[in-house]
Each structure stands twice: as structure tokens, then as C-alpha cells.
Amino acid sequence: MKPGLRHFFDSMADFLAAPAELERLRAAHPGWDESPSRVALYGEFVSHHVRTTVAKLFPFTQACVGPERWEALLDAFEAQRPARHYEMNRMGEGFPAFVADRAEAHGLKAFIPALARFEWTDWTVYASEEVLPATVARLTVNPTLAVLQHPFRLCAWVRGQCEAPAPLEGEEMALLWRHPQQLTTWFMPAHDRALLVVKMALEGLSTEGVAAATGVPEADIHRAVEECVREGFILRP
């Protein structure tokens, strides 16, 4: 890239990261006499899209943080120049880690970082480019399946639209996946039956073999497989 073009992109990157730096942009290009109000419009345009996109991706996080803290978080987040990906939703990719780093400084409740990570995973599962096979030869884990571990009962709380002031405390392994037919993100706390069926799929174990090894009736294992297939995070022939 030619030095002049590199200089242009570097100066614009600084400007779009913090649109208040308009004078710094003008200083970087002596003799440029475009109207400040017209140039500022571009920075405001980018800022607006960052804020509205992050709000769309993290609605529960925004509601739990509150208006004043939310605006302060976005001000600080914009300063880290998140708007670099051509796909607008990717503006939120670094937000959960940012929230975790700033939680104490902004006085956020303890569950907020886990909630932000949950909401981002919800979107990435929904938008996953993993291809679900039309047919499988044996039990197969849905390739969009994601696993989160956190010290709060987030699944039930999010399912209830976060109506309670906060989720209950307690270790939870959350499973999130895109349903093969409905094509929306489904989630639930992992339970022993689900984890057993996931293990069966990953290791190629048969219902008969698992029943013999565990002493669990074969009919119960078969029902567990059927439930997981209906839920959509396990695929079967």
C-alpha cells in the first residue's frame, strides 16, 4: 500500500474510533477544508451503528446494566475501535470480554459478564456457518452445539425473560445449539441424560453397550436418545 493511502486509512481509523477527534483528523491532512459538520457526520454514523448493533445483540445485558452505566460502557467500548468487521453483528464480538474486564470499574452485578457471554453465544450459534448434514450414519452431535460454564442458573432466568432481579447462583453447564428444523437457537442446562447421549455420539457407543456398562435399562437409554433427537442437538440415522 502506498504511504499516502496508508496515512489516510490510519488517520480515518483513529477518527472513526472516537469521532470527537475531528480536529486531529483535520490536522493530519493540512489544507483539507471540508466542512467540519459534514465530516463529523461520518463518525456519528459509525458510532450510531456500533451502539444500535451492540444493543440488539445484548438486550438483556443492557436492561440489567441500566441506561447510565450502559452508555458509559459503550463510550469506553467505542474507544477500543470495535467496528472493524464488514459484517455489522461482529461489532459485538469483543463485548463480553470487555464487560468482564470493566465489570468492577463500572459497578456491574456479578452475573453480567456471564450474561453477556451467553447472549453473544446465542447469536453465534444462530449465525453459525456449520452445515448440518442431511443424513448421518450414526448418532451425531449437532455441529452448532456450544457449551458454556458459569456460576449462575442463566438458562432458566433467560427463558423467563430475566424477570427476576438476578439469576440464582450455582454452577451450570449450558448447552446452546441451532435447531435443525426451526433454525433458531435453543438452550438448556446440561443434565446427565443429555451428557450421556453426547458421549454416545462422540464415542460411537451403542444403546446396548451403554446399558451393559452402566446397568441402566436399555429402554431408559433409548428414551434419552429420543429426547435429545427431538430437542435437536443430537442427529440420528
Q: What pLDDT is attached to residue 81?
A: 62
Predicted structure pTM score: 0.85
pLDDT(82) > 60:
no
- How confident is the model over 49-77, as a mean pLDDT? 94
List 203's β-bridge partners, or say none. none
List 148's β-bridge partners, or say none. 174
- C-alpha cell of residue 142: 449437532
Q: Which is it for the CA torsion 228, 182, 177, 169, positive or negative?
A: negative
State the DSSP H helix or E strand holding residue 106, giving kind and residue range, or none if neither: none
pLDDT(170) > 90:
yes
Q: Taking a C-beta distance cutoff of 8 angstroms, is the pair 26, 32 a contact?
A: yes
The CA-atom distances, in angstroms, between 219 and each of 115, 214, 231, 232 are 37, 13, 18, 20
The pLDDT confidence band at residue 18, using thresholds 50, 70 and 90, is low
Residues in the chain: 237
Q: d(Cα 12, Cα 26) in Å, to the nearest integer?
A: 10
The pLDDT confidence band at residue 44, using thresholds 50, 70 and 90, is confident
Q: What pLDDT is attached to residue 234?
A: 97
Looking at per-residue confidence, does 12 or 19 come out higher? Answer: 12
CATH architecture of 128-237: Alpha-Beta Complex (3.90)
Residue 54 DSSP one-character state: H
User: Where are the extended beta strands (E) located within 110-145?
Assistant: 140-141
User: Where are the extended beta strands (E) located within 13-108?
Assistant: none
Q: d(Cα 170, Cα 177) in Å, to the nearest integer?
A: 22
- How confident is the model over 161-169, as a mean pLDDT? 92
Listing DSSP states for 183-219 in one string gives -SEEEEE--HHHHHHHHHHHHT--HHHHHHHH---HH
Q: Taking a C-beta distance cutoff of 8 angstroms, is the pair 53, 89 a contact?
A: yes
Q: Hey, where are the domains in the chain?
A: 1-116, 128-237
Q: d(Cα 142, Cα 202) in Å, to the nearest integer?
A: 11
